[in-house]
Amino acid sequence: MLSPTRAAARPGHGAGVPRGAGAPPRCASSTPPGARGRRVGVARALGSASLLPDGALRERRFCFTTRVASTVSQAARGQSPWQTHSVFNQVPPLQDIDLFESNVPLVEAVEREGAGWVRSRASELGRFVGGEPKQEWGRLANENRPVLHTHDRYGNRIDEVEFHPAWHQLMRMGVEHELHCLPWRSEEPFAHTARAALYMTAMQAEAGFACPITMTFAVVPALRAQPELAAEWEPLVTANTYDPRLIDATHKGCAISGMAMTEKQGGSDVRSNTTVAHPLGGGGAGAEYELVGHKWFCSAPMSDVFLVLAQAADADGAGLSCFLLPRILPDGSRNAFHIQRLKDKLGNHSNASSEIELHGAWARMVGEPGRGVATIIEMVGHTRLDCVIGSAAGMRSAVLTATHHTAHRSAFGKLLIDQPLMRNVLADLCVESEASTILAMRLARAYDEAHADAQAGEDSSDAQLFKRLATAVGKYWTCKRAPNHAFEALECLGGAGYVEESGMPRLYREAPLASIWEGSGNVMSLDVLRALGRSPRSLEVFLAEIEEARGANAQLDVRVAELKGEFADPETLEARARRVVESMAVCLQGSLLVRYAPAPVADAFCASRLGRDGGLEYGTLPPGSDFGAIIDRTLPAALA
User: Which residues make beta-bridge pairs with 73?
Assistant: none
Residue 528 contacts by C-beta under 8 Å, 6 or more apart in sequence?
469, 472, 473, 476, 577, 580, 581, 584
Residue 334 has what DSSP assignment?
A: B
**What 3-state class would DSSP assign to 391?**
helix
**94: amino acid identity, one letter:** L
In which residue ranges of the chain is CATH 2.40.110.20 found?
A: 104-370
**487: amino acid identity, one letter:** F
Instruction: Give the residue ranges of the chain where pLDDT is below 50.
Output: 1-73, 76-77
Q: Residue 639: what pLDDT?
A: 60
For residues 248 and 242, give the distance between their C-alpha atoms in angstroms, rounded to a whole number: 13
Strands 353-366, 410-411: pairing is unpaired
Rg (CA), the chain: 30
User: Which residues make beta-bridge pairs with 308?
Assistant: 260, 323
CATH topology of domain 374-639: Butyryl-CoA Dehydrogenase, subunit A; domain 3 (1.20.140)
The verdict on pTM exceeding 0.75 is yes
Angle (CA) 148 150 154, round 5°:
125
Query: DSSP per residue over 432-481, as a string?
Result: HHHHHHHHHHHHHHHHHHHHHHHHTT-SS-HHHHHHHHHHHHHHHHHHHH
**175: amino acid identity, one letter:** V
Interhelix angle 627-634/420-455, rounded to 10 degrees, is 60
In which residue ranges of the chain is CATH 1.20.140.10 found?
A: 374-639
Q: Residue 19: what pLDDT?
A: 35
Q: Residue 20: what pLDDT?
A: 39
Q: Residue 95: what pLDDT?
A: 87
For residues 521 and 527, give the distance between their C-alpha atoms in angstroms, rounded to a whole number: 10
Q: Residue 82: what pLDDT?
A: 84
User: Which residues make beta-bridge pairs with 257?
Assistant: 305
Per-residue pLDDT of 272-314, as tens digits, reads: 999 999 999 989 999 999 999 999 999 899 999 999 999 999 8
Please state, as a whole number, how many other Cβ atoms lie within 10 Å of the Cβ of residue 201.
Answer: 28
CB 433 within 8 A of CB 392: yes
Query: DSSP per residue over 253-280, as a string?
Result: T---EEEE---TTTTT-GGG---EEEES
Question: What is the CATH architecture assignment of 104-370?
Answer: Beta Barrel (2.40)
